[in-house]
């Protein structure tokens, strides 16, 4: 398929790996933000192509992984209610809260449905006026426009039986929290290309300048990542800390302004707790006053509920780049994709799930760059 195979070309990958090796003179630690990027890196063994001086660490960019445990518990409580249709993307159904997971609620008779778009949930509300339909609005800036559209549509349609359980988080405040930590050792970032497709990359300039870190907006295919790493290493070696755009085929500096306007109409920026990372100021979204009637937490009286993460899960250290999945004592033993203790083992974008699938035995599903048929 055009626009896929050329980004998995083995000869070009070897070229970039050689350029990186030729450029590097000392150790550097680079964090990729997005779970999709982590997945590509582990799947194609990109970190194994790099010189030992370049360390890749995996950031907090898996939306399923950072949704706090109390929001999972709130979802479970709402989904178990009679006359509720609880709608979610599929990944969220296996994420463990302290009260179980959504599959367990479904097995016990709860009406839990997987949808592929929040506007499908709006249609369900329209056709089931006797039910309360709730959509689990999880994700980063990438999914916020579609979720905002669903609330906007529900208001236009006059629906009083549609609401959203909002768990939206924002990438730049999380990057700032990582950079501001005394334990931080991240020296450069690969920013998530799809987030920047929506939001642009203006907001990264102050971060790059304040913390003196290069930030390269990067795509998701193997050659995107190798080129992004090369651009980041080149800046680090030259003492530059600029914002650059590797993913120019999708990202414009200003982003998608129409989507941004819709998000700003429906959502406002608030402090938010992240699973594994704790509270981060001004790092999440909540409904604006004009749309707060669609807030599921208020509608079902759950605003004050709180819960704590399983202490054995070190996902916070993973997402701050301090540790890797293999350093978790539960990895591959008490925590597996079939029996996950923490969210990073559940999601297809979670670092633990990617390591388990592609790295545990070194003989399994890992794909060689250039093997387009298996990609």
Contacts for 207 with CB less than 8 Å, ≥ 6 apart: 172, 175, 176, 179, 213, 215
Edge-first strand listing for the sheet containing 132-139: 111-114, 84-88, 132-139, 162-168
Q: Is the dihedral of CA 92, 96, 98, 100 positive or negative?
A: positive
Reading the block at residue 266, the tokens are 């429906």
Per the CB < 8 A criterion, the answer to whether 283 and 274 are in contact is yes
Per the CB < 8 A criterion, the answer to whether 291 and 156 are in contact is no
The residue from 314, 319, 354, 369 that contacts ligand SF4 (CB under 6 A) is 314
* 186 binding ligand SF4? (CB under 6 A): no
The residue from 57, 87, 217, 318 that contacts ligand SF4 (CB under 6 A) is 318
Residue with smaller CB distance to ligand SF4, 312 or 371 = 312
* 352 binding ligand SF4? (CB under 6 A): yes
* 59 binding ligand SF4? (CB under 6 A): no
Q: How far is the CB of 315 from ligand SF4 (least distance, A)?
A: 5
Contacting range for ligand SF4; rule: CB under 6 A; set: 20-28, 151-159, 200-208, 339-347? 339-347
For 173-203, give the DSSP string: HHHHHHHHSTT----EEEEEHHHHHHH-STT
Residue showing the smallest CB distance to ligand SF4 in the complex: 342
* 72 binding ligand SF4? (CB under 6 A): no
The residue from 69, 191, 259, 345 that contacts ligand SF4 (CB under 6 A) is 345
Three-state SS at 210:
helix
* 200 binding ligand SF4? (CB under 6 A): no
The residue from 200, 219, 255, 344 that contacts ligand SF4 (CB under 6 A) is 344
Task: Using CB under 6 A, list all residues that contact ligand SF4.
Answer: 312-315, 318, 325, 328, 330-331, 335, 341-342, 344-345, 352
């Amino acid at each position: 398929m055009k626009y896929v195979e050329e980004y998995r070309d083995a000869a070009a990958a070897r070229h970039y790996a050689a350029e990186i090796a030729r450029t590097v003179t000392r150790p550097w630690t680079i964090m990729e933000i997005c779970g999709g990027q982590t997945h590509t890196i582990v799947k194609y063994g990109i970190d194994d192509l790099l010189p030992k001086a370049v360390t890749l660490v995996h950031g907090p960019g898996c939306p399923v992984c950072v949704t706090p445990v109390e929001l999972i518990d709130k979802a479970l409580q709402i989904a178990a209610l009679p006359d509720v249709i609880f709608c979610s993307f599929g990944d969220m159904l296996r994420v463990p809260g302290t009260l179980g997971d959504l599959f367990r609620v479904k097995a016990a008779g709860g009406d839990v449905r997987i949808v592929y778009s929040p506007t499908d949930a709006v249609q369900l509300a329209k056709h089931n006026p006797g039910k309360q339909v709730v959509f689990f609005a999880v994700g980063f800036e990438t999914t916020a426009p579609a979720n905002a559209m669903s609330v906007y549509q529900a208001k236009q349609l006059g629906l009083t039986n549609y609401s959203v359980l909002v768990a939206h988080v924002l990438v730049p405040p999380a990057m700032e929290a990582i950079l501001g930590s005394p334990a931080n050792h991240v020296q450069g970032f690969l920013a998530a290309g799809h987030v920047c497709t929506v939001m642009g990359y203006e907001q990264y300039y102050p971060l790059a300048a304040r913390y003196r870190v290069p930030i390269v907006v990067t795509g998701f295919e193997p050659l995107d990542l190798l080129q992004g790493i090369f651009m980041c290493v080149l800046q680090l070696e030259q003492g530059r800390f600029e914002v650059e755009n590797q993913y120019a085929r999708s990202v414009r500096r200003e982003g998608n302004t129409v989507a941004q306007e819709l998000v700003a109409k429906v959502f406002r920026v608030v402090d938010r707790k992240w699973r594994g990372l704790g509270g981060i100021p001004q790092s999440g979204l909540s409904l604006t006053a004009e749309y707060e009637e669609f807030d599921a937490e208020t509608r079902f009286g759950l605003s004050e509920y709180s819960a704590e993460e399983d202490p054995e899960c070190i996902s916070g250290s993973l997402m701050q780049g301090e540790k890797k999945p293999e350093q978790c004592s539960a990895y591959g033993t008490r925590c597996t994709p079939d029996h996950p203790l923490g969210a990073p083992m559940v999601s297809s974008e979670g670092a633990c799930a990617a390591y388990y699938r592609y790295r545990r035995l070194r003989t399994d599903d890992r794909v060689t760059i250039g093997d387009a048929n298996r990609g």
